[in-house]
Chains A and B, each alone.
Chain A
Amino acid sequence: MSMHRLLIGAAMLMSATSGVRADSPNLGRVVSPEEIAVWDISIAPDGANLPHGSGTPAQGEAVYRAACQTCHGERGAGKPNDPLVGGQGTLTGEGLPIKTVDSFWPYATTLFDYVRRAMPLTAPKSLTDDQVYAVCAYILSLNGIIGADDTMNAETLPAVRMPNRDGFVLFSRSR
């Protein structure tokens, strides 16, 4: 191939890929939004990426008993692993703070994001989106953050105001 044709080829590649450098390997496969959707499970505080579906505390209680209670105790009391309720007032006390969804977590969207990707520990990603909404609703209702009859969905979950929402500051170096 002549240098002239190489240069033309490089120029065409540049224009076709919106400014990608021709000297970069460019071996990535362009992926469609449909392909990405299944993988894109992260939920920011604005809730923009929340899936369809919904759940209530009552529905969530059944899910919780079957999938969560073994590790997190009855009604989120904890043991053997992290408690999900209580701990109010412990962030400034003498002992180690008890950090629960109620006392510490700043965003309800984090609860959905985490449960859907990682819980239950022995069978992660086994809950349906409806079940995740429901179990989030149950945990939030246990803490009195939402009412016993409230429904959690893509609109209501991001609107939940968490008690410790203003409890975080950005780190800056002290010296």
Chain B
Amino acid sequence: MIRIFVLMVFLFLYAPIAFVIASSFLDNGSFTLKWFEKVFEDYKVIRAFSNSLILAIASTFFSVILGTAAAYAYIRTKMSFESLFYTPVVIPEIAEALSLLLFYNLLSFPLGFYSVLLGHIAFNVAFVFVIVKARLAGYERSIEEASLTLGANEIQTFLRVTLPMAMPGIIAASLIAFTLSWDNFIKTVFTTGPGFQTLPMLIWSQAVRGVVSPSLNALATLMLLISITLAYLYIRVSTKRE
């Protein structure tokens, strides 16, 4: 009984995704790649793709540096600022997005790439902090102290002892930060201006009319494959460590 129920639930979860992927390769029942060709020929798609990619890379870069430094400081000093980093994780995106829009509006900050990037770094810093902190939980100061006692200086110790210990956490956090930024829709829409469009915004602008089209399926399939690849990398990184 329970087996059949569980099977049905997994069918419910994966049938729509399988349907999108399958129909992006089909034209009247026969295999085709023409929907993908159409996607790659569309200038707007290419533009949105590069916007999304640059945004995700930049926000990952800055948030990993800020968040990792804070997580390291927390592990070493146990300062009581931890809860500052939890609010952005639990607050719904739309509340965060509208507050940032008001902030930019008050400052007359121009809306576009930079306003979106600054917003993405904000939520990513919090996620990076939480993940790296969790991965550094088994951290032992004595290993660093051993390195210092054996004659390595602070910088050598940091580069050759501390950083390698923190690396699995940093990689995991980078993958999550990249995904969150790459997929983000609500915060991007609220803080962007004319001329800066990302892939999720492009999908939204077509899907909101309730129209399912084969080329939109192809675009969705490409994005699904990227998400699944990132998830796979994450699973590889996090299981390797154990």
A binds B: no
